[in-house]
Amino acid sequence: MNKNLLLAPGPTPVPPEALLRMAQPMIHHRTPQFSQTLAETAAMLQELYQTTQPVLMIAGSGTAGMESVVANLIGAGDKALVVRGGKFGERWGEIVEAHGGIAVNLDVEWGQAVDPKAVAARLDEDPDIACVFVQACETSTATEHPIEALAAVVRERDNVLLCVDGITGVGCFPLPMDEWGIDALVCGSQKALQLPPGLATVALSERAWKRAETVQRTGTYYLDLLKERKAQAEQRTTAWTAPVSLIHGLNEVLKRTLDEGLAQTYARQECLARATRAGLEAIGLRLYSSAPSRSVTAAWVPEGVDGAKLVKYLRDEMGVTLAGGQAKLKGKIIRIGHMGYVGPFDIISGLSAVEIALDRLGHDVEFGRGPAAAIAIVREQWPSAA
């Protein structure tokens, strides 16, 4: 039997404190006790998102959060500029079209960040575009898009909104919603929120709420954010049966995160990203992204090694779960998640396992180089707990 190490870009490990909290006996969701937890959690989410707007909790995976944004901001025939630099960018476009919108695609080479000037040019060309959809981190390519710069471009235009999939961004690196002027920000529980899958969080800016109030929606019942805002922000309850255990877990994780402080959390996350990148490069793997993310790292599998076999060997023989490539990157890259409840020694161990697995699959490996490079980064850069 292997001891398992979860280094996927979601789901991520759940801290024992959150597991214990979620294991408490069930309480009813229409009770003062649950209302209290919901209100407390909502207030902490506002601190995490750095917004004065309500952050709504929705039972559903991250995609439900994405769809709630589209369903409430895009009407039939509305145009949306979709930054497509990977699988999740494509998903925005598919959701827009499922809701009767017109996706104007801005294709970006996989592994590269979008150029804000290209976004500005497309918005100038087409004044009918109502929303820009983008990922903070395109998880399929482990690439960060420059959200602050994009927000500056979009903010100059009164009639355009910036909608950010922050599913592998929120809690990993700064995305201060109000300060930067992000109009919609989505997160999912199984990433930096350190919980099991099944809970999405969504916030809209004042501008976005105005649009949500007037847009000719094509229709959603469950994902009606106006109804959800009324329930959660005004009545301290949820529109539908709340995912009670997940919200208790979120309450626990957010308390721990805010106790630590966002700056410290981001500094830890950044150090883990640097250690992972340095470790993979020292093993001789080339990083895939030219704008590597602080939440997940992707690297090319060396020539002659089957990436799918590498991931399978690591999982089945070594108990180490990381991710392979998606779509056209299947078998070609590996992706290591380092967001949430992941520590430096998880990364160092994971790199050792990658070395052993590569060796077993016939690749020439000088043992210890990857972990040593990661150790050097951790030794120099791990933020003091002070």
Q: Which residues bind ligand PLP (CB under 6 A)?
A: 10, 61-63, 88, 135, 137, 139, 165, 167-168, 188, 197
Report the DSSP beta bridge partners of residue 75: 217
Q: Which residue is nearest to ligand PLP (CB)?
A: 62
Q: Tell me how far apart the alpha carbons of residues 92 and 80 are, in angstroms, rounded to a whole number.
A: 10
Whole-Å CA distances, 14 to 38, 72, 153, 288:
20, 31, 37, 28
Please identify, using beta-carbon distances, which residue of 34 and 110 lies nearer to ligand PLP: 110
Q: Tell me how far apart the alpha carbons of residues 144 and 151 are, in angstroms, rounded to a whole number.
A: 14
We find the least distance from the C-beta atom of residue 134 to ligand PLP, in angstroms, to be 10
Contact assessment for residue 364 and residue 325, using Cβ atoms and an 8 Å cutoff:
no
Structure tokens at 132: 């820009």
Please identify, using beta-carbon distances, which residue of 53 and 135 lies nearer to ligand PLP: 135
Whole-Å CA distances, 138 to 83, 105, 169, 278, 354:
10, 15, 9, 21, 23
Please identify, using beta-carbon distances, which residue of 90 and 355 lies nearer to ligand PLP: 90
We find the least distance from the C-beta atom of residue 9 to ligand PLP, in angstroms, to be 6
Q: Tell me how far apart the alpha carbons of residues 57 and 188 are, in angstroms, rounded to a whole number.
A: 10
Residue 329 per-residue DSSP state: G
Please identify, using beta-carbon distances, which residue of 38 and 137 lies nearer to ligand PLP: 137
We find the least distance from the C-beta atom of residue 88 to ligand PLP, in angstroms, to be 4
Structure tokens at 195: 């919980």
We find the least distance from the C-beta atom of residue 169 to ligand PLP, in angstroms, to be 8
Can you spell out the DSSP letters for 157-186?
STT-EEEEE-TTTTTTS---HHHHT-SEEE
We find the least distance from the C-beta atom of residue 369 to ligand PLP, in angstroms, to be 30
Please identify, using beta-carbon distances, which residue of 10 and 307 lies nearer to ligand PLP: 10
We find the least distance from the C-beta atom of residue 140 to ligand PLP, in angstroms, to be 8
Please identify, using beta-carbon distances, which residue of 8 and 378 lies nearer to ligand PLP: 8
